[in-house]
Amino acid sequence: MNKSLTNKVLIFFVVLIWALVVYKYWFRSSSENQFQANEVNYNKVVHSPKKIKEVSVVTLNRDPFLNEKLNVKKRKEKRVKSNVTKKKNFNRKSNNNIWPKIKYLGFLQKENKSKNILLIINGRFKKISKNEIILQDFRIKQVFKDSIIIEGKKKIKTIKKGS
């Protein structure tokens, strides 16, 4: 067939199909919807509250898988202890053995100069150089990246960074 003839036939069928769709949608569906709207009845259904059955739970005295009796441990009641304070004799140490709270933060070093150490001593921030005396009795012996060695009161103590 000719191309123009096939195009004309196809256009005719497309127009026919669309005409049927528009006719059914506008004319028939509007009249059917009116009848359906009149026929719909709204009945209110009253639901009665559902009764819940109460069940008591029974503890198992045997293991269902091993078929053995379970050993039920009874809890013992804690006995009330009397609060009797006892005097304790403490051997009080002299103030010479008390170390201050020291926190090592790191060190600073400039060109051809000694290392300056950043410390927090008893909650106060201090910048101290190596071999300087701290709080009259303590001296910084060595400085490393992660720790320092402090000498004081006939004892040597290593303090790590951040602690």
Q: Are residues 138 and 98 in contact, defined by beta-carbon separation less than 8 angstroms? A: no
What are the residue ranges spanned by the domains of the chain?
1-37, 98-160
Query: Rounded to 10 degrees, what is the CA torsion of 125, 127, 133, 135?
Result: -10
Could you give the CA distance from residue 71 to residue 102 in angstroms, rounded to a whole number? 55
User: Tens digits of per-residue pLDDT, 65-98?
Assistant: 888 887 767 777 777 777 767 666 656 555 555 7
Structure confidence at residue 8 (pLDDT): 95
Is the pLDDT score of 125 beyond 80? yes
Query: Would you say residue 2 has pLDDT above 80?
Result: yes
In this predicted model, which residue has the larger pLDDT, 16 or 24?
16
Q: What number does CATH give the domain 98-160?
A: 2.30.30.830
In single-letter form, the type of residue at position 82 comes to S
Check residues 95 and 163 and name the one with the higher pLDDT.
163
Give the percent of the chain with pLDDT over 70: 79
| pTM score above 0.75 | no
pLDDT (average), residues 114-129? 84
Q: Is pLDDT of 43 > 80?
A: no
Angstrom distances, CA of residue 126 to CA of 90, 120, 122? 34, 6, 10
